[in-house]
Structure 1
């Protein structure tokens, strides 16, 4: 079933308000259009003006031509897949007479992770890496102010055993270059609220809701710092010994190296390294690598079948796979199967993964996963 909802705005509302006010009708105190009725979006999960900035007046960047529309296809028990795209449009006139236009979209997807291993690992890293923080209160997922992911209970798994997840992504196609990029949903806490509510509705539509619905999490923790630079030869990515990148690049490139310390918990840890963009030389940002550790059972289930049946390399504990695009290893650590992943890295990918893996293992209190010397 596909549906389209449009927020009503414009002269019709104004005219109706005048007529009703003149007639002395108490529409403000009732649930009668145009004052009381609220629009609903994404399978009925979100209500207009219900809290997050996205659903209220704060979601619009301009004062003119405002509209909030959805195109959606709800999951069903026979077809447990669904999508919803919420689009906000507005415009504003600048002091010089020019017009800037806003077109922000928020896309929700209900379904299983990609079947292809490389695509699945990239997909998972997109949601768990960089500045994403794991959801608290035992919810298996992660979120930041622009996107998020929540893995649903096992009862919602696909027929082939893959977990089902709900993802939330944003796109900003505004004509104003200063507002381009991702849509800010009102902060990470607001993004988590949106994600949990649409996950509950998706499970209800797909027929796998049971018992009490998932609860919106308590306040999310924040990261300690933004991206950091490599200021000296001794600096290492995410302050992990063995992940020193300055010797791997020329001097000019080394001056642009940046890293982001992501989540550091017992269930998830992430680190990303980039060659930052250069405005003067018109060079874009480039990825060096994304490293990720996952132990939370429902999140780890997304990685089932990707780590092979033998050790990553000689001397490594557990199982692993070395591919052109990624390196991945899984081993028992602190009483639980733990997966370590590195995407990118080029010829040094195994060295970076070894350094990241053994650093995390030491923090968790388990034996090294990579053999001695693999991080050099």
Structure 2
């Protein structure tokens, strides 16, 4: 009996430390690799850990480093880096930069190298208004948040491989919280999209209907080979087409985007385009009245067009833009301009 009792006591002495080590290991895993026992929000309350964790491509513990960096003169101007870290073998710390800024209203369609190409971007509207493309997205804040400096947006850069729908939901959530903190969430929270349109696949250019628009000519020289275009399917409310290397066309009737354009600094009357009276920021970023609907048109040129300027058959910039406004206007049901 003594031998049996001794063996049982010895077993208990061995098992107890093993169990203790197991409990510590599980606790360390939960603490270091998950959001259990973590704060519900980071970035000064703007980002929920659950929404951030859903947007990251891999699991980890969400934190915000030093918290948000904000501007005292504008409650909607901030930057915060969210990270997801894990001590599991082979894992790497991932980062997501989220910021609030004010932009010129047509920022998604300007070629400053910062924004994803609108032809391959998934735009969404109906609740929140925004877009996601190339692991980079943005959401417009409510119109009540607009000031003399222009509309406010929330912008996010996510790691490669992030779920675009989850990124859109995260940015919508941040936009709601930022607007609420600033006191300009006037009509209730913005609704996040549940799905996004797929990015179009490049296809050969049809010279008879560039970008699928009858009457639109090729934005380059007569001699060319293998030209491709990426065209979004629907012309409403936001549409874009990229003729690779040559030009990117865009048009939108989305009310919130157009509202932001009309309220931006520098928006003024411009020379007529395709016979239509227009206002805008320059001769190729304008808003026209299209059957009673304010409609924004833009045209950006690529390196291949710049290199072809002066070559036989290369159309002038303004001629191309006039043709675009005319062709897209017909597709939108716009009446002919009056003199």
Distance 2:34 2:197 in 1: 39
Q: CA deviation at 1:226?
A: 1.0
Q: CA deviation at 1:306?
A: 4.9
Q: Aligned pair in 2 of structure 1 residues 249, 87: CA closer, same or farther (>3 Å)?
A: farther
Distance 1:335 1:266 in 2: 15
Distance 2:251 2:123 in 1: 12
Structure 1: stretches of 5+ with no match in the other structure: 1-14, 61-65, 94-99, 173-182, 276-287, 372-376
- Please tell me whether residue 168 in structure 1 is matched to residue 143 in structure 2: no
Distance 2:20 2:73 in 1: 48
Please provide the CA RMSD for this pair: 4.4
- Where do residues 182-197 of structure 1 align in structure 2 (5 Å cutoff)? 183-186=160-163, 188-197=164-173
Q: CA deviation at 1:338?
A: 1.0
Distance 1:267 1:125 in 2: 23
Q: CA deviation at 1:162?
A: 1.6
In structure 1, the partner of 2:122 is 133
TM-score, length basis structure 1: 0.65
In structure 1, the partner of 2:323 is 355
Q: Aligned pair in 2 of structure 1 residues 267, 137: CA closer, same or farther (>3 Å)?
A: same
Distance 1:70 1:264 in 2: 42
Distance 2:322 2:188 in 1: 42
Distance 2:281 2:222 in 1: 23
CA contact (8 A) 2:278 2:289 kept: no
Q: CA deviation at 1:340?
A: 0.7
- Please tell me whether residue 365 in structure 1 is matched to residue 333 in structure 2: yes
CA contact (8 A) 1:358 1:369 kept: no
In structure 1, the partner of 2:272 is 312
CA contact (8 A) 1:43 1:74 kept: no
- Please tell me whether residue 272 in structure 1 is matched to residue 230 in structure 2: no
In structure 2, the partner of 1:248 is 221
Q: Deviations over 1:44-66 (max 9, x none)?
A: 3444455864347x257xxxxx9
How many residues of Structure 1 are paired with residues of Structure 2 in the alignment? 306
Distance 1:52 1:365 in 2: 45
- Where do residues 1-376 of structure 1 align in structure 2 (5 Å cutoff)? 18=20, 21=23, 36-39=36-39, 40-50=41-51, 53-55=54-56, 58=58, 69-73=64-68, 78-80=73-75, 81-88=77-84, 104-114=94-104, 121-122=110-111, 126=115, 129-144=118-133, 146-158=135-147, 160=148, 162-170=150-158, 183-186=160-163, 188-210=164-186, 212-223=188-199, 225-230=200-205, 234=207, 236-245=209-218, 248=221, 250-251=223-224, 254-255=225-226, 257-262=227-232, 264-275=234-245, 288-304=246-262, 306=266, 308-312=268-272, 316-320=275-279, 327-344=284-301, 346=306, 348-368=316-336
> 3-state DSSP class of the match of 2:317?
helix
Distance 2:52 2:125 in 1: 20
Q: Aligned pair in 2 of structure 1 residues 339, 52: CA closer, same or farther (>3 Å)?
A: same
Larger radius of gyration: 2
> 3-state DSSP class of the match of 2:119?
coil
> 3-state DSSP class of the match of 2:295?
strand
Q: Which has the higher helix share?
A: 2
Q: CA deviation at 1:76?
A: 7.4
CA contact (8 A) 1:240 1:355 kept: no
CA contact (8 A) 1:41 1:47 kept: yes
Q: CA deviation at 1:146?
A: 1.4
> 3-state DSSP class of the match of 2:115?
helix
Distance 2:336 2:87 in 1: 56
Distance 1:43 1:339 in 2: 36
CA contact (8 A) 2:51 2:166 kept: no
Q: Deviations over 1:27-54 (max 9, x none)?
A: x9xx9x9873135433334444558643
CA contact (8 A) 1:76 1:206 kept: no
